[in-house]
Each structure stands twice: as structure tokens, then as C-alpha cells.
């Protein structure tokens, strides 16, 4: 069951999902902050659990539009929790983010590291984490909540049928690189080349979206089995720089990816990668896709769908 207004996504993806799994998902097109629409969904369907992905997610944009981020991300979570409580559904997997750690004093980052986000997006995720922790503590018998702190999701489904299709200039590195490689854009901008890292560019922990999806299923299965919530990192434990990512994509695609070095972007940190050992211990989960796999699958998606879902949506 999907419930979304397709901000940052496209209805054409529903048909693509059906082609992959052989079954069309039910979905409701609505804003997660629309309490009436949410109530209707919970009345029409019986759910065992909810996975909450809905939210705005661009660090730079959050600095420019903080009110929109707090309204969408925090208010959306509150409305959802009220609807769940009214329907008697208490199992929730929340899409959190490694941005809650901010400029970590050391890497790899463990779950008990200080939580000091440096931008409104990270603050909004931490606020929701606090709300959900308080909710679970208020009635442990009714609520089981998994807080999954994503590092940097990239890649696409290996079939090439579904992938990231940003509208306008992408906010994230991998779709930017892919659009340059396919010829939509002339070059990428590398934000900051004076960080204290091995090549001066930011270092991130990129995780394949398929590994990420497996992590959500593992969290649901663990909560059903052990009847408790959790807070875990979902990452590979390997930090990769911007320039290393560009080179890996060039190898995967066989295309050159020109780039321009520009000033740092507000809210970005120098280095961020996970210690994922707790997820392996609690969930029995471990990332298996390599950077090369991520670049290969992103390129397959982009080369098969140069303009994303847009052409299909117009048919």
C-alpha cells in the first residue's frame, strides 16, 4: 500500500513496480499531512505496520526553506502517528538520516555518537526521532518503532525499470553524475575541494537502494519476532569521496564526467560514514552491493530512461 502525493516521485513508477513484482500496489495520492485522507486509508485497510518514507530531503534546500522542511517532515510524522494510534497500528519503521550526527568528531559513526545536526533537514529528522522515542516510551506495549539512520542512498533497481528521477537540477551527487554522463547536463559541480579529506572533497557512505530496502524488511521482521524497537545505522561502513565516485561512474558507464570545483555548500559536512555493526548484530543485515554495483545500476536506469519517467507519464 503506497500513500503519497508524488512530491519527488512519479505515478509512472507504480506501473514499473507492477512489472517487477507481478502485482500492482494499491496507492492513494495524498499529502501525508492530510489527516482526513490518512484516516480514510486506515479505515479502508487493515495494516500490521507502517514504513514512513514521506518527507523533503535536500540539505541545501532545507537551509533556504526551513519552514517547509519542519512543516512537511515534522508535522507529517505527527499526523501519521495520530492516524496510527486511532487505528490501533503500533509498528513503525521511520526513514531517518545520518544527518542527525552533524559534523561527527570521528568516523566511522556509531549510533551512540552525539546528535548535532548542522542543517534544518537534519534537525527535522532528529525532531521526529525524539517524538517517536517519546511515543514508544509512553506505551511500550502498544508501540514498536525502528529508527533507521540512512547514510547516502544511491543506485536503482537492477532491472533499470525504477530509479531516481529528480525534477530540475538534482540535489544529490549520483543522479547529477548520471545526467552528465547521459548528456542532459554539461558538467557536475563539486561543492568544496578544501575539506580535510584524502582528495579535498566530501566523503560519504553510499548505500545501494536494494540493500536499504532489505534493511527495512529486516527491521520489520525483527520487531515482529522480538517485539521491540531499535535505532540503527544503515550504511556500508566505507567512506568514498566525491571524486572517487565520479571516477567509478566513468568506469561503469564508459563516459567522461566533466566537473567544476565550486565553494562548499551550506550545511554539508566533510566526512560521514557508518559503523553498521549494530544493524548486523540486531537485524542480521549487512550491505552487500559495492560502489561499482551502485554506479552500474544507476547507469542502467539512466541510459534506459534518459528523461526518467516523464515521457511515460505523458503517454
Q: Which residues are catalytic?
A: 121
Closest CA to 151 of 269, 258, 8, 38: 269
CA distance 106 to 112: 12
Which three three-digit cell numbers place residue 97?
538520516
Own/partner pairs for 19-26, CB < 8 Å, 24+ apart?
A: 19/161, 20/157, 20/159, 20/161, 20/162, 25/1, 26/1, 26/2
Cα–Cα dist 76/70, whole Å? 9
What is the biggest distance separating any 2 CA atoms in the chain, rounded to whole angstroms? Answer: 55
Residue 270 carries which DSSP code? Answer: S
Amino acid at each position: 500500500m503506497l500513500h503519497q502525493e508524488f512530491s519527488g516521485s512519479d505515478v509512472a513508477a507504480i506501473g514499473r513496480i507492477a512489472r517487477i513484482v507481478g502485482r500492482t500496489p494499491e496507492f492513494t495520492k495524498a499529502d501525508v499531512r492530510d489527516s482526513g485522507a490518512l484516516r480514510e486509508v486506515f479505515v479502508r485497510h487493515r495494516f500490521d505496520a507502517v514504513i514512513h518514507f514521506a518527507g523533503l530531503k535536500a540539505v541545501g534546500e532545507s537551509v533556504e526553506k526551513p519552514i517547509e522542511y519542519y512543516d512537511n517532515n515534522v508535522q507529517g510524522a505527527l499526523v501519521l502517528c495520530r492516524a496510527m494510534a486511532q487505528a490501533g497500528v503500533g509498528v513503525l519503521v521511520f526513514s531517518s538520516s545520518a544527518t542527525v550526527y552533524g559534523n561527527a568528531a570521528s568516523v566511522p559513526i556509531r549510533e551512540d555518537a552525539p546528535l548535532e545536526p548542522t542543517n534544518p533537514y537534519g534537525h527535522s529528522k532528529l525532531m521526529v526521532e525524539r517524538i517517536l522515542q517519546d511515543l514508544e516510551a509512553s506505551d511500550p506495549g502498544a508501540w514498536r518503532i525502528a529508527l533507521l539512520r540512512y547514510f547516502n542512498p544511491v543506485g536503482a533497481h537492477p532491472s533499470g525499470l525504477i530509479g531516481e528521477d529528480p525534477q530540475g537540477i538534482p540535489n544529490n551527487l549520483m543522479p547529477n553524475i548520471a545526467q552528465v554522463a547521459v548528456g542532459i547536463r554539461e558538467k557536475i559541480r563539486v561543492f568544496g575541494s578544501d575539506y580535510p579529506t584524502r582528495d579535498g572533497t566530501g566523503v560519504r557512505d553510499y548505500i545501494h537502494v536494494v540493500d536499504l530496502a532489505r534493511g527495512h524488511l529486516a527491521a520489520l521482521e525483527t520487531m515482529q519476532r522480538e517485539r521491540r524497537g531499535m535505532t540503527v545505522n544503515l550504511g556500508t561502513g566505507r567512506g568514498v569521496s566525491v571524486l572517487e565516485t565520479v571516477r567509478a561512474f566513468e568506469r561503469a558507464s564508459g563516459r567522461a564526467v566533466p566537473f567544476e570545483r565550486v565553494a562548499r555548500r551550506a550545511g554539508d559536512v566533510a566526512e560521514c560514514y557508518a559503523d553498521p555493526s549494530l544493524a548486523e548484530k540486531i537485524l542480521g543485515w549487512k550491505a552487500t552491493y559495492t560502489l561499482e554495483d551502485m554506479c552500474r545500476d544507476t547507469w542502467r536506469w539512466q541510459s534506459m530512461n534518459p528523461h526518467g519517467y516523464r515521457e511515460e507519464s505523458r503517454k
